[in-house]
Amino acid sequence: MFIELTVGNFRSFKERATLSMVAAKLNARDPQLDLNNTFQVDEDLSLLTSAGIYGANASGKSNLIKALGFMRHYVLSSSRESQADEPIDTVPFKLDSQTELAPSYFEVVFRLEGVPYRYGFEVTTEKVETEWLFYSPNRKEAKLFTREDSEFSISRALKGGQALKSLTRPNALFLSVAAQFNNEIAKKVLGWFKRVNVISGLDDSAYGGFTAKAFAEDESYRAGIVELLQESDVGINNVVVEKINVHEAGVFPKNMPQELRDFLLKQVKDEGEFINFRAIHRRHCENDVIEDILFNLDEESEGTQKLFFLSGPVINTLREGKVLVIDEIEARLHTLLTRKLIGLFSSEKTNPKHAQLIFATHDTNLLSNKLFRRDQIWFVEKDEEGASHLYSLAELKVRNDASFESDYLQGKYGAIPILGEMRRALIELSQEDGHEIE
């Protein structure tokens, strides 16, 4: 279970900012939201099922998601020998000379097998400056290890940790090394990071291959994906798998994601065939006869294609109780389809294992007190120095019955484009042309 992420001196985030999934002590306008959009972990902790991040273009929404994506990738890969001579792929805040050479800060708090953990590190492009792991098996937080440059303090609870200090490169995380050498606690923590998936709603290739593989090989996933498509009212009654001769002309659509193309080619092997997916639609004929007609996926709308490819990660996240983070979730999707995907996480029926969704979006139609509690809505805004700041609607004085969308577009919550200078420029141009802008 994901509790919070803190990031500092990374891309547009100069100061530390924290995204929290802890449910605030507030009541939604609709009491049903308090039941559906939160879940109780213990008597002291209630978490949110989803959170949406809003902000103007270039405000830093994507950078917050990139921070979690970087952290996940670095934890899972830094111990590999292939990374020995590679610089660390962090990007500090560059609009201040004091931060450009300072380390970037990353920390996550999560719950694993009923136990809270807090893990983080500070890194430059050259080395790990500090690293720490704490847990709370008996409510009180206890240290598992801390690291400052090449100095380590390792608890006995992290068995075998002492012997791994000398095996940890300056540009590698001690946690990753410990997991590589089968330390049980470190392996569990890495396992949690593997259950956090970060994807872009703009790039189907990032998850299209996963959906294709799941659909082709797992009957239960196939049924789940088809059910989602049917309930989304995109006109698809079913999806079938068929074998296609790889040597036929025009087999691969020009816009097919490369990852999906690679997956299909792997199916060819020696048979010269691969698996293709075709959607079944219903066609009305004369005398009220209804027959099935097959469509290739590239004949479907871009929104339908995205829904198909995105359905795999969504269903996997819900079934396994994982965490899914999506940038630009609304890209190529109608608002009602986006609502449906988000709504899957706000139902005990479709989300019995308390999976969590974090998404960035520009779709203000989702800003509704009928869909979200105030603590589920987050904003990112840049200041005059170009630094991003993160805050929740729950931190502002907002009434439960307020029109979230209308007030946001009016600028009452901040985090919207400042169009004053653009408007003045347009007025000046129109006056030069002899026209006026109302």
Instruction: State in words which class domain 2-195+323-410 has.
Output: alpha beta
Separation between Cα atoms, residue 277 and residue 353, nearest integer Å = 30
Asked if residue 416 lies in contact with residue 380, where contact means CB atoms within 8 angstroms, the answer is: no
d(CA 321, CA 104): 30
Measured CA to CA, the distance from residue 223 to residue 218 in angstroms comes to 9
Please give the full DSSP string across 338-397, using - where no structure is assigned.
HHHHHHGGG-TTT-TT--EEEEE---GGG--TTT--GGGEEEEEE-TTS-EEEEEGGGS-
3-state secondary structure 48-67: ECEEEEECCCCCCHHHHHHH
Show pLDDT as tens, one digit a residue, over the chain (438 residues): 999 999 999 999 999 999 999 999 999 989 999 999 999 998 889 999 999 999 998 899 999 999 999 999 999 999 886 677 889 999 999 999 999 999 999 999 999 999 999 999 999 999 999 999 999 998 899 999 999 988 999 999 898 888 898 899 999 999 999 999 999 999 999 999 999 999 887 777 678 778 888 888 888 888 888 888 888 887 778 888 776 666 555 566 667 777 666 766 666 555 556 667 787 877 778 777 677 787 777 777 888 888 888 889 999 999 999 999 999 998 888 898 899 999 999 999 999 999 999 999 999 999 999 999 999 999 999 999 999 999 999 999 898 889 999 999 888 898 887 655 444 554 455 566 555 444
Name the nearest CA neighbour of 95 among 15, 16, 18. Answer: 15
pLDDT score of 250: 58
Sequence ranges of the domains in the chain:
2-195+323-410, 204-308
- DSSP one-letter string for 305-335: HHHHHHHHHHHHHHHHT-EEEEESTTTT--H
pLDDT of residue 437: 44
Q: What is the pLDDT of residue 432?
A: 61
Q: What is the predicted pLDDT for the residue at 417?
A: 74
